Structure 1
Amino acid sequence: MRAWSAPDVPVLPVEGPPVRVHDSATGSLVSSVPEGAARLYVCGITPYDATHLGHAATYVGFDLLNRAWRAAGHPVSYVQNVTDVDDPLLERARKVDIDWVALAERETELFRQDMEALRVLPPEHYIGAVESIPLVIDYIERLRRTGSVYQVEDDLYFSVSADPAFGAVSGLDRERMVALFAERGGDPEREGKKDPLDCVLWRGERPGEPSWESPFGPGRPGWHVECTAIAQQFLGRHFDVQGGGSDLVFPHHEMSASEAHVATGEPFARAYTHAGMVAYDGEKMSKSRGNLVFVSQLRHSDVDPMAIRLALLRHHYRSDWEWTDAELWDAVDTLARWRRALSLGAGAPAMPVVQSVLAALAEDLDAPRALQVVDRWVAETLGTEGLADTSDPAAAATVHQLLDAALGLSL
């Protein structure tokens, strides 16, 4: 599967500091000093609807990590999946009477356009669930050899008790795990399971659903093992960061980590990093609540994509917050002020701005602090407008490069 086009990223005059990110498993900031290329896996979309601002906030957040690593001198190997066959997609296709493949292709293409407009750096490997089915089958076979797989009717399950570290990613107690598992696509009450928390690896063929041949009979992959197999195929063992929204901590990232731990005897990722949730009208954005704000709708309403990105960057990637139209229009006004300052050419000294912005982003991707630094530079620069004595004749060019390279804002 192809990703989207990559924007040109300017080379900054200084190297950024080492990056630290929040690890959900330990609840602390951890230094991310990659050995060779930095390796990042971010869970992708299930393409049954358009990209809403909650999705965009997550991918813009991890785009900051990609850029911070690059600024620190590390090449980045970035992998993202597309769950282009799963229950929500099939249910949506039935409801709107459209072929599920056509629906997945249409919404994936719209996602590509949204990410390109927001200047999110594309993954090196963009992998669909359907094309990864051979990888998933091989991974299930590998797990079967460990004795951690069992059958219930036509379905195969992973036994979480096979992993002594199960629960380490989320840190949740069992009661909370069972409740979340039921809310987020699990089947804790199914008869025949050894443990309510055991998850599906291979879903046997159902009437009217797509299926693929396998050594275990026709069917399709479970959700969690899809990401496990893709990540380890393209990033190897114990890669640097697994990322996604905070609603993926359990069960998705917990299950993926356990499957990998049982299969390899090693941790899945060095850090598990999660973005917060975006609300609208008082509730988390979700299809079921119908309170979605779509990136494509804003773009097609002549909203500058850089204003959308700036509005997202004003919130720390780990925070939960609520989108308002007022924030968007304030971002539009801010960009107009910044562009005015950049048009002057000369301005307040730029190198302290470069160093402070890179330092803020290296400390758990603190975009709000970085934006405050830029705001101060803009105020100082506009305060010198019309004065002959400005301290940095190349300030605007340097700050322009910084905004693009570090924050993904092309002005």
Structure 2
Amino acid sequence: MTDLSPDPASRRSPLHDVHAAAGATFTDFAGWQMPVRYSSDLAEHAAVRTAAGLFDLSHMGEILVVGPQSAAALDFALSGPMSRLAERQAKYTLMLDENGGIIDDLVVYRTGEDRYLVVANASNREVVAARLRERADGFDALVEDESGDIGLLALQGPRALEILQNLDGLDLRADIEPGTSTADAVAALRYYRAIPGEYEGRRILVARTGYTGEDGFELYTSPEILRTLWESLLEIGAGAGLVPAGLAARDTLRLEAGMPLYGHELGLSVLPAQAGIGRAVSLDGKGDFVGRAAIERGEPADPRSDFAGRVLVGLASEGKRAGRAGYAVHEDGGGRVGFITSGALSPTLGHPVALAYVDADRGEPGTTLSVDVRGTRIPATVTPLPFYTRAAH
């Protein structure tokens, strides 16, 4: 079982020793010691864009909600209509507080008629589990934090399908059409769908989801066989360009894909509409849920916050000097109108990109602003998100 003891410094992935032997550099991430890189950020980023990368995401939280009223409980607890999910379907959704602020952004899988898997960010696992229990009170539903019993790997990139199709020991044929091979079942799996099966005699959930802007899969299974799965995938994928990848590459990949990160673009002071994820909130055809009244009012989650009155935009610049989180954004030739939440020199595009909150009347694509990079104002243009899509490259 993965260590989930109260001492944050002691939280390690089941693969910690494997990562160390591979030369990984570690960083503290939400109280976990996780690989930030193995070789170089650029090489790992490029591998995911051109071939495939393998990520250890065992720090993520997995919370099980089961029972006859599990769907109703989640409809009340979360912003999206979980009761409308078909079995084996996944959905991106939000947990809001009473002011409409974002407690966490989540992916929810309906794994059975009365069974859901809620995947939370590592830093929010405990609070999400606690809020789900509170909000499920009065419903015939049980909430169990299963994080210690589930390991998670992400296989991402244009050759991910090919690699997974060649994984010996993976069997997804238990309840699909007779004569269908596991390789065919993997290929037929649609985006934001999942299929259960077995790997080396243990249960596994194979989901076509990810956080990189590429095609790929997320694999949920027992921590006891995570090492076998990790090493087998790397061996199979060696000739296809598969490499282990760390959190640094994951961050630049998701930034290029315009995907928000909790603690940077998302938080308790941010309304979903400000972050460009209002689609994750369902007001039509769904009953009451925590945060609904605040969303309908449309008032700032925290009027005193630096986020109030601002919207999330993409910024693109020329040259090589990238704005970083916290850098000020100014009106072209004028005063401060916002701040960067994530920024980097894009490895794929070759120029700086950033996500930033700016005054709502400065958020139109094509608007020219500037970023204060260590005392120098660098011109930047508001750019539609995402910066990168695999269809265009």
Same structural fold, with TM-score higher than 0.5 when normalized by the shorter chain: no
Indicate the structure with greater helix content.
1
Larger relative CO (CA 8 A, sep 6+): 1 or 2? 1
Question: TM-score, normalised to structure 1's length?
Answer: 0.28
Larger radius of gyration: 1
The structure richer in strand per residue is 2
